[in-house]
Chain A
């Protein structure tokens, strides 16, 4: 059974940093691109960042470019999101998601975690 479990969220002051993690199991993690998608309270879905299976392709939404860094450790079956210079508008539930198709970088997402909540407030 595929499982994605996010952690690392919490309350943080504007300008501070936070590192999110996503622990994956139930599939060959190193074969699939992974992405972060966020959802502000009561709002829709927003793609944040994605990383290919071998970290060769990485992308960011304009809203987080230069502040967030995505990475992965295939040996540990883990995905990360380093978030620096956090802003109140970064407040959201952050989902880790797996692409459906082996080898694809940009794709649809067949599995999602339950999310980790990041609240940026003074």
Chain B
């Protein structure tokens, strides 16, 4: 099983600041098979990024993904008030499909 580790656990930032979230895999993940989701309280997860760097439909361009192998990054260039949420990475290249534990982006 591929274990995903996300850091930091919590990120405290102000609106307008840049957020950098990390996802590290226990084994190499093809970049084709890495996704990022956003989840707000009481809501279902929302797909942000797939294939490590492709934005899903309707996702603003302040969200970007990068990385390869075992290290992946989600960057939010300038935080908007609606971006404060929990972010999960997911690998879907190998069974079982796994998610990281999440990074909470909170208002400082």
Chain A residues within CB distance 8 Å of chain B: 35, 37, 44-47, 50, 59, 61-62, 95, 100, 106-110, 112-115
Contacts and interface: CB of A to CB of B under 8 A. Distances in A.
Given A44-B101, A100-B56, A108-B90, A62 B44 contact: no
A45 B45 contact: yes
Contacts of A108: 35, 47, 50, 90, 92
Nearest to A57: B95
13 contacts: A35-B97, A44-B100, A44-B102, A45-B39, A45-B45, A45-B102, A47-B96, A50-B97, A100-B50, A108-B92, A109-B45, A110-B56, A112-B45
Contact of B98 (A47, A59, A109, A112): A47
Contacts of A44: 88, 99-102
A34 B57 CA distance: 19
Given A44-B88, A110-B57, A59 B95 contact: yes
A98 to B, nearest CB: 10
B93 interface: yes
A44 B100 CA distance: 8
Nearest to B48: A108
B96 A110 contact: no
Interface in B69-108: 88, 90, 92-93, 95-102
A50 to B, nearest CB: 7
The 5 residue pairs across chains A and B that have the minimum distance between CB atoms: A112-B44, A108-B35, A47-B97, A45-B99, A108-B50
B47 A100 contact: yes
